[in-house]
């Protein structure tokens, strides 16, 4: 047990899935040639200063704030955060400093079997900066840098947590849950690797039992859930070593170096601690109507946590199943849709978590692209239930369904895969098999009951696996015991 308590707060930036930028009508599409999705406004050209707010971006920010249980501001205005950097066209970033979109919210995560609430201090809407490219090996040796402003002005929300997170694992769980929520409400694709979700962590330590915060460092450049976890773990170890040796943690920004697995201090004598935030007079305040907020509230889908709980309460699913099935809204929708045609929640859960996910992974597609409709899946399961096909055959049928989209029944018929449940036919086969395998029959009759397995296998081979296994067992036993 460590003698320190870890205090973590996260600042998460999420790019919104709008077609155009926050204040101008330039495209936000990914992958265009550099500096082709720019205009006088997002380039900050002289005299081209006046922003017009994107309705969709505002709607998405409100939805996010509602989904994170925040109180919503009644007036939208933007403040200028003033600083100089090559990727910042105007010398200031427009952000909601004084009146954030949402305040005082929370996200619940499951830690060690119990629910923990992580406070959301605020959620605000702001504009992204451009992108810097460094020639040469890295930022340090690069003789100059190149700037692409296509991303400048893309709408972002920044989510700032309270310092409620106590470990790297909790940070990871929080981020996963947050990503899940934001994907459920379809406002961002939240891809850490591509930068549409970026997390910075404020990390500090304090002696156990103390209620004062120690000096914190701000960790940046963590581009995956794993690097968030590793970066924080490293930083916690680094800080505790300093503290144990009686040193003092320098409050600074540190970059996580994924390759070397260390955090590095990034110092600049020009890093400003004073952004002089003040309202942008070029953006007159916009009054949010409570009607709109109510409408958006009503439009929110069931969120992951509620959905998990419902799957457990309503269908009696184990926590693990509920977790997997709700890991995306689309998958959960698929599960729910299948249950409209099937009375067996756990059976459906097993098949969705097992075969369906396996098929998706093999084909590298999303559940929404899956050709097996919920109705057809339910029908397949019904065929098994009725004994018309075996589970083994069903997997074959499902594979076929996934490529053709055909109904289970028609595949079964077309390919003659229906289970042979006709007792006379099976009895005939049993008699043939008994006659052809005297040794196994001998073994069985002398007490080696397991020998029946071989005979069952023989019948299965003759029927290409279509024989009803229970019935085969039954008639074999009857014939052998005659």
465 contact, one of another protein, Zn ion, none, CB 5-8 Å limit per kind: none
- Contact with another protein (CB under 8 A): which of 82, 99, 350, 437? 82
Using rule CB under 8 A, residue 55 touches another protein: yes
Please state at what angle helix 168-184 crosses helix 304-315, rounded to 10 degrees: 90
| Distance linking the first and last C-alpha atoms of the chain | 70
> What residues numbered 3-42 form the site for Zn ion, per CB under 5 A?
24, 26, 39, 41-42
The Cβ of residue 428 has, within 10 Å, a number of other Cβ atoms equal to: 12
226 contact, one of Zn ion, another protein, none, CB 5-8 Å limit per kind: none
Instruction: Evaluate whether 326 touches 336 at the Cβ level (below 8 Å).
Output: no
The Cβ of residue 364 has, within 10 Å, a number of other Cβ atoms equal to: 7
For 20, which DSSP code? B
**Looking up tokens 């504009």, which residue turns up?**
127
- Contact with another protein (CB under 8 A): which of 30, 34, 162, 425? 34
Nearer to another protein, 16 or 383 (CB): 16
The Cβ of residue 179 has, within 10 Å, a number of other Cβ atoms equal to: 21
| Contact mark string toward another protein, 279..308, x via CB under 8 A | xxxxxxxxx---------------------
Number of shown-chain residues binding another protein (CB under 8 A): 69
- Contact with another protein (CB under 8 A): which of 7, 43, 456, 480? 43
Of the listed pieces 48-56, 316-324, 342-350, 465-473, which binds another protein according to CB under 8 A? 48-56
Angstrom CA distances, 224 to 111, 194, 215, 220, stand at: 20, 9, 25, 12
Q: How far apart are CA 37 and CA 150, in angstroms?
A: 5
Q: How far apart are CA 272 and CA 281, in angstroms?
A: 23
Instruction: Evaluate whether 156 touches 128 at the Cβ level (below 8 Å).
Output: yes
Using rule CB under 5 A, residue 53 touches Zn ion: no
Using rule CB under 8 A, residue 342 touches another protein: no
Using rule CB under 8 A, residue 39 touches another protein: yes
Using rule CB under 5 A, residue 152 touches Zn ion: no
- Contact with another protein (CB under 8 A): which of 112, 114, 212, 268? 268
CB of 88 to another protein, least distance (A): 9
Instruction: Evaluate whether 423 touches 468 at the Cβ level (below 8 Å).
Output: no
| CA dihedral for 281, 59, 156, 121, sign (positive or negative) | positive
- Radius of gyration of the chain from its Cα atoms, rounded to whole angstroms: 30
Using rule CB under 8 A, residue 40 touches another protein: yes
Nearer to another protein, 24 or 203 (CB): 24
Q: Which residues bind Zn ion (CB under 5 A)?
A: 24, 26, 39, 41-42
Q: Which residues bind another protein (CB under 8 A)?
A: 18-20, 24-27, 33-40, 43-50, 52-58, 76, 80, 82, 84-86, 89-92, 132-134, 139-140, 142-149, 268-270, 272, 274, 276, 278-287
């Amino acid at each position: 047990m460590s003698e320190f308590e870890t205090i973590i707060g996260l600042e998460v930036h999420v790019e919104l899935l709008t077609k155009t930028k926050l204040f101008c009508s330039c495209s936000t599409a990914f992958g265009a040639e550099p500096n082709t999705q720019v205009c006088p406004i997002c380039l900050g050209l002289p005299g081209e200063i006046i922003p017009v707010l994107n309705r969709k971006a505002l709607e998405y920010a409100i939805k996010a704030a509602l989904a994170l249980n925040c109180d919503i501001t009644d007036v939208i205005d933007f403040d200028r955060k003033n600083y100089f950097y090559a990727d910042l066209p105007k010398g200031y970033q427009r952000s909601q400093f004084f009146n954030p979109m949402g305040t005082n919210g929370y996200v619940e995560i499951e830690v060690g079997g119990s629910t923990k609430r992580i406070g959301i201090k605020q959620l605000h809407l702001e504009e992204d900066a451009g992108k810097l490219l460094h020639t040469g090996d890295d930022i340090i040796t690069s003789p100059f840098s190149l700037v692409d402003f296509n991303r400048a002005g893309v709408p972002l929300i920044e989510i700032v947590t309270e310092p409620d997170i106590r470990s790297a694992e909790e940070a990871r769980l929080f981020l996963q849950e947050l990503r899940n929520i934001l994907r459920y409400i379809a406002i961002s694709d939240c891809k850490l690797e591509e930068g549409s979700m970026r997390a910075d962590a404020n990390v500090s330590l304090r002696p156990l039992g103390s209620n004062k915060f120690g000096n914190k460092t701000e960790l940046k450049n963590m581009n995956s859930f794993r690097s968030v976890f590793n970066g924080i773990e490293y930083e916690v170890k680094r800080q505790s070593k300093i503290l144990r040796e009686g040193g003092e943690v320098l409050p600074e920004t540190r970059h996580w170096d994924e390759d070397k697995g260390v955090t590095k201090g990034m110092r600049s004598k020009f890093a400003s601690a004073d952004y002089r935030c003040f309202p942008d007079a070029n953006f007159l305040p916009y009054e949010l109507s409570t009607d709109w907020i109510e409408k958006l509230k009503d439009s929110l889908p069931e969120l992951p946590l509620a959905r998990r709980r419902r799957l457990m309460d309503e269908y009696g699913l184990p926590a693990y199943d509920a977790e997997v099935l709700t890991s995306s809204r689309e998958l959960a929708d698929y599960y729910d849709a299948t249950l409209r045609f099937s009375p067996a929640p756990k059976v459906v859960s097993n098949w969705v978590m097992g075969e369906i996910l396996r098929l998706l992974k093999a084909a590298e597609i999303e559940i929404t692209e899956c050709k097996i409709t919920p109705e057809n899946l339910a029908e397949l399961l019904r065929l098994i239930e009725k004994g018309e096909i075996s589970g083994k055959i069903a997997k074959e049928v499902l594979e076929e369904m996934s490529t053709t989209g055909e109904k289970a029944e028609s595949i079964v018929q077309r390919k003659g895969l229906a289970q042979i449940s006709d007792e006379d036919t099976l009895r005939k086969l049993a008699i043939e098999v008994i006659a052809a395998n005297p040794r196994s029959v001998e073994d069985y009759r002398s007490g080696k009951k397991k020998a029946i397995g071989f005979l069952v296998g023989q019948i299965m081979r003759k029927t290409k696996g279509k024989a009803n296994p229970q019935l085969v067992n039954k008639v074999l036993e009857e014939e052998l015991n005659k």
